[in-house]
Chain A
Amino acid sequence: MSTISSNTGTLPPGPDIKPKLSRDDLLMRGSMMVIVLYLIVTLALPLYTMLSKSFSTYRVELSQYEFQVSDEVGNFDGTVLTGDALNQQTEVFTDTDLVTGSDGRLPVTGLFPDFSFRSPVMYQIRNTSDTGRFLVGSTLQDGTDWIELDSNTFRRVQLRPVQSRGLDNFVNYFSTPALFNSIKNSLWISVVSTIVTVTLAFWFAYALNRSCMRFKGVFRLIAMAPILVPSLLPGIALVYLFGNQGMIKELLFGASIYGPIGIVIGSVFFTFPHAFLIISTALAISDARLYEAAASLRSTPWRTFWTVTVPGARYGLISAAFVVFNLVITDFGLPKVIGGQFNVLAVDIYKQVIGQQNFEMGAVVSVVLVIPAILAFAIDRMVQSKQVALLSARSVPYQAAPNPKADRLFLIYCSLIGLFIVGLLAVCQFAALIKFWPYDLSLSLRNYQFDKMDGGGWGSYFNSIRLALLTAVIGTTVVFFGAYLVEKSQGFRTGRSIFQMFAMLPMAIPGMVLGLSYIFFFNNPSNPLNGIYGTMAILVICTVTHFYTVSHLTAVTALKQMDREFESVSASLKQPTMKLFARVTVPVCLPAVLDISIYLFVNAMTTVSAVVFLYSPKTTLASIAVLNMDDAGDIAPAAAMGMMIFYTNAAARIIHLIASKGILKRTQAWRSR
């Protein structure tokens, strides 16, 4: 008999075992660092730059300049005047004139009321501090020595502002009613759209999951159609229907479609599929045993609905509400097209940056917009994490029993929703094909001659396809490989949790904000990556980053279903992890990989918000062309281009479906027993 004497106390002192890293470990860690670095450069740094921009103020400090003025023959009497003193005498510049942007310039001659560029009077100017700067012509002067200039040259002197950090921009923002009213407007349309969309989508999903209505497949297809078009397309359709020369504008009884009404209707259209998908999933997984219990307790259908159905779907409803809210408040295309004078935050960013070149204020509005977006996102994540294990393995799926009366009601309801969705798309197609609404209704393909319009012509359509393909290929590779590294590498906890955090961040960042951040970050001449500004590369990078989160989550879900021990087995067989990745992981996860690529493709085709700041004349995009043609009054071609995007995406989906069926048949033979 052997007894083992064991020290059962505490860990002995001395160093812990330091693992020797295998080549695979190093490779995995190295790759993870590369992808983390990618996310830092394409996400964290631009956002940081934008944030710091919002706190930067620029102001011309007149006290930093000194002047001397000569008499008629060019003799100076030694009197030195400061800019401040001059301005107090003349009162030419008010305080608001002195506050400016990073590019602000103040012509100095304003301080001298009797200045004439033909006079023989000579001028001397100098900075009194090292931070002072002024331009003579285009030469920057930042020294403190006196510079003597004749009148003709002095007229070309411009004072440059000094940068400081502070809350001034925010103070400025909140003291301008035209700007901060947008917060109220944005919240208002987002809340209304959310309530309407979630209600409509709930009953639609209910009909599809809980009734014996006919044509369910067709309705499911129709409900998903809006995902395939840019969010501004319903806006164009609404203009045709209810605009100043609208087909049925009488239905609005004099109210204008340009404004909140149009935005809400359009938002319902483009957010409907998102809400429908989430709620439908929630309704699909309820347990029939609860309904049997309710029936055996003689509950009325109404009471069962409120005590079983709604609570069962509550996480889905909450999640759908926040997703829709987030989509509406961050959307730019739709309010741009149909918002009229009704200002919302996303459009304000565009107006500040593109219209007024006020980048600092654009950054301020971005910060304001990010707050509700991040809140909505955080609450949604919290809710989703609670939704696990609602359904146990022993649950019995609910089977709807036929109920002719209810089924007919549902069919009518779904048909109305279907009519709304198909109707808006049909209006766009119709508008694209007629010559000149409402005067010449003959059919023509004239509106497809994009090369004769603003927006980049057919070239932008092919650019879009190039962008979508590149995004799909590069994005899927980066996202899936990144997700694999996070899920399957050993140890290195800190690195992995940082990665997870970065991967979730893009979902919370509105496209407009991301796009603006990219301007600040990549358009800076001192940035070594400045070269990609204005190229297709920056559009691809921006789009991949913009849609990173959903793709990442899809990949992670698929990877979590793989046996945890594959990597252990492979290591014990002395095979490189990358061989396992290529031979087993990717083939097994192929359905998820294909899903990610089509998701990225469709979104790259339709996205407007982020790329609107980043395209160049060489890289115009179809979705941007829709926006620009609409802006220029070419609404029919805009509709035509919008429908081209729709058909392209529909075709891509069909090809994806056929391709995945074919590939799956060949590569997933092992799934069948």
Chain B
Amino acid sequence: MRTSPVLQKTPPGELYLSIQNLWKAFGSFLALKDISLEINEGEFVCFLGPSGCGKTTLLRAIAGLDLQTKGTVMQDGMDVSNLPPSERDFGIVFQSYALFPNLTIEKNIAFGLENSGRTKSEIAVRVNELLHLVGLPDQGKKYPAQLSGGQQQRIALARAIASKPGLLLLDEPLSALDAKVRVHLRHEIKELQRKLGVTTVMVTHDQEEALAMADRIVVMNHGVIEQVGSPTEIYREPANLFVADFIGEMNQIQSQVTKGGRLSVGEKTFACLGHQFNDGTPVVAAIRPEDVIPHEAGYLDTGGNRNCIEVTLVEMEFLGSFWRCRLSNERFGSSELIADFSINAVRRLELEEGRTMVIELPENRLMAFDVPETEA
């Protein structure tokens, strides 16, 4: 079977996995609270969240490894809610690889192909094909311990997809690897997933990984889904302060909604599009560091109604491709604003520590969120 890679940009519309009102209780602790989610065929979905948010619990419930307390899981139109893992259709890859240490790479991959009506030579052909697919054609006779971590993870992947499951589950597959290998391998996994078109769910706590690989990201916290969306949606339009804060950098300023939906910070008010708060509501104003636009000092005079403000450049940190700058203004009180300026901008505006400058907070990039309840 040597199909040409079918590159599909958009997720196909067919519904494949449907999770309805899922609950999981460990004693009195609720690890999953009323989770509902739909995943389309061929989609690559990432469960993203801090540790303990329930993402692995959700994955294990989908696999049937740890059954949910309540709720249903439908896979490919069939109710699999109470089925044991062996009666579901999925392949799984764990953080620890879980390769059988005493079996060769070939035998590891062939493990799931046995007892399935395939002849020995068919199995050998398929194993060879998979070894080529994951780019390790000559390693079949070796034992897992003789391979590097990245190679072992590829073998684990080959083993998981060997019998062409309808669903591929990845439980923090890259967490045990070095940073460089991780970046390389995540690209390869994504490529492979596109090529095979297999519906894939990956659990990760690494936002960069999720943003780079997923068609859709499911952000979770404390057992609930905070937001579901494409990487750009999640990043550009976070649904709440948790998502905004968890993914990427985000400046947060205590603020209040005033007349006309403007946000007031100290005596200054800023225009902000796309929020539905009533006047007088206390909110958190937020903006990403890279959305802050730098201007030379005095720029303020020329603009009429723009979100410009004069600040002092307190500190500059060189981070290679850009400068991270700490900006202060007495109106912000003690909190400082973080802004990322391109090297060009810094050169053009001749920015340096201690200088006064003007920044603009674009009204379509400025966001407003509910003030979070203080956690106990």
Chain A residues within CB distance 8 Å of chain B: 1-4, 6-12, 14, 16-22, 24-25, 563, 565-566, 568-576, 579, 583-584, 587-588, 667-673
Contact = CB atoms under 8 A, between A and B. Distances in A.
B189 interface: no
B229 A1 contact: yes
Contact of A668 (B33, B92, B102, B233): B102
A20 B83 contact: yes
Interface string B83-112: 111111011101010101111000000011
A583 B103 contact: yes
B261 to A, nearest CB: 17
B198 to A, nearest CB: 14
Closest 7 CB pairs of A and B: A573-B112, A22-B84, A670-B143, A571-B85, A565-B98, A7-B34, A6-B224
B82 A19 contact: yes
B33 A6 contact: yes
Given A2-B228, A12-B23, A573-B159, A568 B84 contact: no
26 contacts: A4-B224, A4-B225, A4-B228, A7-B33, A8-B33, A9-B33, A11-B30, A12-B23, A17-B69, A17-B70, A18-B82, A20-B84, A24-B86, A568-B92, A572-B86, A572-B91, A573-B111, A573-B159, A573-B162, A575-B115, A583-B100, A588-B102, A669-B143, A671-B101, A671-B145, A673-B145
Given A4-B227, A16-B70, A565-B96, 11 more contacts: A4-B36, A6-B224, A10-B30, A12-B34, A22-B85, A24-B86, A25-B84, A569-B98, A573-B112, A573-B163, A583-B103
Q: Is the interface of A mostly helix, strand, loop or mixed?
A: loop
B101 A572 contact: no
B274 to A, nearest CB: 9
A572 B102 contact: no
Nearest to A22: B84
Interface in B1-56: 21, 23, 25, 30, 33-36
A482 to B, nearest CB: 22
Q: Which of A10, A17, A563, A671 has the most CB of B within 10 A?
A: A17
A527 B96 CA distance: 51
A24 B86 CA distance: 9
A569 B92 contact: yes
B176 to A, nearest CB: 12
A317 to B, nearest CB: 37
A1 B237 contact: yes
Interface stretch (B60-68, B295-303, B335-343): B60-68
Interface of B: 21, 23, 25, 30, 33-36, 63, 65, 67-71, 81-88, 90-92, 94, 96, 98, 100-103, 111-112, 114-116, 143-146, 159-160, 162-163, 165, 223-229, 233, 237, 239-240
Contacts of A21: 84
Contacts of A576: 115
B84 A8 contact: no
Contact of A568 (B35, B65, B67, B145): B65
B53 to A, nearest CB: 13
B84 A584 contact: no
A576 B111 CA distance: 11
B96 A14 contact: no
A245 B283 CA distance: 101
A19 B64 CA distance: 9
Contact of B160 (A572, A583, A584): A572
A568 B94 contact: yes
Contacts of B67: 17, 19
A3 B34 contact: no
Contacts of B112: 572-575
Contacts of B86: 22, 24, 571-572, 574
Contacts of A566: 98, 100
Q: Which of B34, B68, B145, B233 has the most CB of A within 10 A?
A: B34
Given A11-B23, A11-B70, A17-B70, A6 B102 contact: no
A568 B63 contact: yes
A3 B103 contact: no
Nearest to B111: A573
